[in-house]
């Protein structure tokens, strides 16, 4: 096989409502995903055995890409002896979906390289076993509504053209911890209210009602983070006060936040805030 290169985009959750805890222990959510032009680069070459290398993130069997390739092989009853090298540009552990995007990119690449004939649904079924965000990254659509754990998708045919500023502090927030806190504090939004707000958000996008957009950009995790991460409350407040921003909020369970500005084309600006525990204000 010839060396293969593929880009894996980041995402933000323009809104994320937690509807409740399911009997299986997972949480039911309603969210609006949007891909960003911020990419990891994934390189695939033939090898004697499966290898995954990633500078600055787990390599080998601990990497979600390794697990995705193994799972794909198990599903098809074959081995994929490839070497995967990941060049990270998406900040890790910030709610931007970098690992899930890398896994989705490799599933798509192997389907093409080996002419596996897998449908989108086939790949999404495999990806959903590893991460709820993976099915979204397998879509071609730049935006989608996510239901269930986030894996039940409804593509949204809106072409976003925004300047997105990402504020990614050096803070790691465990997604499992964040959901456990949401359950503990019952920080849930009733489904009917969340669905109504989602329609308001989509209508604001479609009609370019920028003045009303910020009223629907919400994330229920913003209610639970301050108890353990008071500095996140200050960061979110400062990001939402960004001059000229038409909307702002937290992505996923954090810690990355975003602000959105009107623009002629989609672009991303990455900012690393300086946060000192105990100090009153983060600096950009």
Q: Quick check: 98 and 92 in contact, CB under 8 A?
A: yes
Q: Quick check: 11 and 33 in contact, CB under 8 A?
A: yes
Residue 62's CB is within 10 A of a number of other CB atoms, namely: 11
Please give the backbone phi and psi of residue 100, each rounded to the nearest 5 degrees, phi first.
-65, -40
**Active-site residue (options: 40, 102, 133, 220):** 133
Q: Could you identify the residue written with the tokens 């990633």?
A: 54
Active site residue 55: no
Between CA 18 and CA 29 the distance in angstroms is 5
Query: Minimal CA–CA distance to 30: which of 143, 215, 198?
Result: 198
Show Cβ contacts of residue 218 under 8 Å, excluding neighbours closer than 6 positions: 15, 16, 17, 197, 249
Length of the chain: 284
**Active-site residue (options: 11, 35, 165, 197):** 11
From the centroid of its chain, how far is CA 194?
Answer: 19
Active site residue 102: no
Between CA 70 and CA 174 the distance in angstroms is 25
Query: Minimal CA–CA distance to 205: which of 156, 243, 242, 245?
Result: 156
Between CA 238 and CA 236 the distance in angstroms is 5
Active site residues: 11, 133
């Amino acid at each position: 096989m010839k060396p293969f290169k593929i880009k894996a985009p980041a995402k933000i959750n323009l809104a994320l409502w937690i509807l409740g805890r399911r009997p299986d222990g997972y949480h039911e959510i309603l969210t609006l995903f949007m891909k960003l032009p911020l990419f990891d680069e994934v390189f695939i070459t033939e090898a004697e055995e499966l290898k995954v290398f990633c500078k600055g993130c787990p390599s080998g069997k601990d990497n979600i890409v390794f697990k995705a390739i193994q799972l794909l092989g198990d599903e098809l009853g074959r081995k994929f002896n490839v070497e995967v090298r990941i060049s990270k540009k998406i900040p890790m552990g910030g709610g931007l979906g970098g690992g899930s995007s890398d896994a989705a990119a490799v599933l798509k690449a192997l389907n093409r390289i080996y002419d596996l004939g897998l449908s989108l649904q086939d790949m999404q079924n495999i990806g959903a076993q590893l991460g709820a965000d993976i099915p979204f990254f397998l879509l071609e659509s730049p935006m989608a509504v996510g239901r269930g754990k986030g894996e039940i998708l409804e593509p949204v045919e809106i072409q976003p053209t925004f300047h997105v500023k990402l504020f990614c502090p050096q803070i790691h927030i465990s997604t499992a911890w964040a959901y456990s806190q949401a359950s503990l504090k019952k920080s849930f939004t009733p489904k009917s209210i969340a669905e109504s707000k989602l329609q308001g958000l989509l209508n604001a996008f479609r009609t370019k009602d920028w003045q009303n957009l910020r009223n629907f950009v919400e994330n229920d995790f913003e209610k639970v983070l301050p108890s353990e991460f008071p500095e996140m409350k200050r960061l979110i407040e400062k990001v939402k006060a960004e001059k000229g921003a038409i909307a702002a909020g937290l992505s996923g369970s954090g810690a990355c936040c975003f602000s959105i500005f009107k623009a002629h084309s989609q672009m991303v600006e990455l900012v690393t805030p300086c946060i000192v525990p105990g100090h009153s204000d983060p600096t950009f």
